[in-house]
Amino acid sequence: MVRGIPSILFGSHPATDLPRAPYTYRLEKEENCTFHFVNGPLPTASHESVASFYDGQCYRYFHWAPSPTPFALSQVADACAFLRRVIEDEGPFDGVVGFSQGAVMALALALEHEEQRPEAPPPFRFAVLFSCPYLPYPGGDRDNAEWGTTAVPSLHVAGRNDDEWFEASRTVLHENCVDGTASLVVHDGGHAVPKDRETVERVGREISKFVRENRGS
């Protein structure tokens, strides 16, 4: 049975339980998938975009604006270690699904694995990355920091009206994924998990394809 880790984050990103429901319902019903949900390890205040309808504790994987705590690349390394423990304790998992920081961490984990453990099987066989906007660089210095590439098959889902991160989402796909292993779905929304029927159907078909290709392997 294929398992996944949809990483649903709050903080500076407007994610809730609601947008993921059409995807998990379809995969549970049609592909017999099960899911393990994991929050980031760092407590944080809720973003204004979700505060009006969600008053519970929110979490993130690393500090980023508007967090008062400065970002440090070590936070990403700590978050990768945290996710490796989740996989060791609760896995194995065939796929990972992440939104925003969750997507960033899924990609970072795959890239870290390629660099540090290339002889071992990857932490997951496919990745679905909603609004994966950037990979953090120390001091924001992209020119002197290298993340490398990963061959883990991935689907990237980005909103054309995500004014701040749409182009960055496209850049991540081309810079950090081996040619031919990644594809892009663009929807008309912003920095959010899309809920419109057309996108849900298209993304659902792509995830089902991943699942069927890896079933029993």
Q: Contact, 192 vs 159, CB < 8 A?
A: yes
- CA distances to 122, 206, 208, 217 from 117, in Å: 8, 28, 28, 21
Give how many domains the chain has, as a whole number. Answer: 1
What mean pLDDT do residues 194-199 have?
90
pLDDT at 132 over 80: yes
Q: Decide: pTM greater than 0.85.
A: no
**Dihedral (C-alpha) 78, 83, 88, 92: value to the nearest 10 degrees?**
-160
Tokens of 92: 């194995």
Task: Check which CATH number belongs to the domain holding 77 and give it.
Answer: 3.40.50.1820
Q: What is the pLDDT of residues 149-176, one digit of tens each?
A: 999 999 999 999 988 788 888 888 888 9
What mean pLDDT do residues 51-62 have?
71
What mean pLDDT do residues 72-87 have?
86
Domain residue limits at 182:
3-139+146-214
Helix (H) or strand (E) holding 187: strand 182-187
